[in-house]
Amino acid sequence: TGFHGTHVFSGVVLNFIIFVNVIMGTYQKRGHYEMVEKVGLYWHFVDLVWVFVFTFFYLI
């Protein structure tokens, strides 16, 4: 669905931002990786929702 696609797109953007910050060493300088963990949780939540969306809209 379009709503889910919007969340996937925002997740890709967030993952790209995290990637750039990791390459620049931002989190290592700060000494914590909280934002990486939060974006990871968000990404896996969107992934889990996709499993249910795919199952109920396309298989059933």
**pLDDT, tens digit, for every residue of 14-33?**
999 999 999 999 999 998 89
Domain count, the chain: 1
Query: Is the four-CA dihedral 31, 14, 41, 19 of positive or negative sign?
Result: negative
pTM, two decimal places = 0.75
Query: Which residue range is the domain that position 12 belongs to?
Result: 2-59
> What is the amino acid identity at position 2?
G
Percent of the chain past pLDDT 70, that is, above it, reads 98
The two structure tokens encoding residue 24 = 């620049």
- Of 54, 40, 59, the closest CA to residue 1 belongs to 54
Question: Using CA atoms, how far apart are residues 7 and 10, in angstroms rounded to an integer?
Answer: 5
Question: Using CA atoms, how far apart are residues 53 and 38, in angstroms rounded to an integer?
Answer: 22
